[in-house]
Amino acid sequence: MSIPRILIIAGSDSGGGAGIQADIRTVTMLGGHATTAITAITAQNTLGVTAIHPVPVEIVLAQIDAVTSDIGCDAVKIGMIGSAEIAHAVADRLEALDCPIVFDPVMIATSGSVLADPETIVAFERLMTIASVVTPNLPELTALGGRQAVLAYGCHLAEKGGHKEGPTILDQLYAPKDRLVMEIEAERIDTPDTHGTGCTFAAALATGLGSGLSIGEAFIQAVRFVRLAILNAPGLGEGHGPVGHALGMVPFDVVDGEGEDDDA
């Protein structure tokens, strides 16, 4: 049995809605095996982030080395990076890997909490240089200098349209040299429960690429998975709640046969 191995390099969300926690659930639901290198520990819930503790760079690299040397890697997803030092060290390590790399340039949480300082954002240039595809939301894209600036690094760009006002959302996939590969327009889902959508999208995209899908196929799957997860949000917390990665199901029940006699 072959299973795509997805290395997630990101921060931990104690509320479980975003970061490593959301990434693991996404990879699992899409048929992959998630390995992790945690870059930061955050104390957060649906209302915001109350504390951030960066993981020492040597521990981040040790996690990467441990899983890649034994389990291997078919794709990488990079999320919250923690510091400029970690960004440069991770870029150095990943240059040796021959697999797709999805970089989600996390700067601000859904709640509005800042997750990357100016020095770290500058260091994102190193990660965009090695990335196969970069997945910013519109405010993040503006902070990175716009579409042309990102594509100049030779990567693909998944331009997410959720932050633009209007009744519909337009998600676009661009190839280097500003070539529009495809776009998906869909009705906006009116809900506050969108915490972790960016993490989920990037993890889904990485899983698709690690599974052997083309970037277009992986993009379509990622958009669809995020929308289904939003529609199945469990309604937790008093702020921006997490999406429902299990898509309204209990996966064990689906396999085991929901409603069967447990003693049979």
Which residues are known catalytic residues?
A: 160, 194, 196-199
Give DSSP secondary structure letters for the chain: ----EEEEEEEEETTSSSHHHHHHHHHHHTT-EEEEEEEEEEEEETTEEEEEEEPPHHHHHHHHHHHHHHT--SEEEE----SHHHHHHHHHHHTT--S-EEE----B-TTS-B-S-HHHHHHHHHHHHH-SEE---HHHHHHTT-HHHHHTTT-EEEE--TTS-SSEEEEEEEETTTEEEEEEEEEPP--S--BTHHHHHHHHHHHHHHTT--HHHHHHHHHHHHHHHHHT----SSSSPBP-TTTT--HHHHHHTTT--TT-
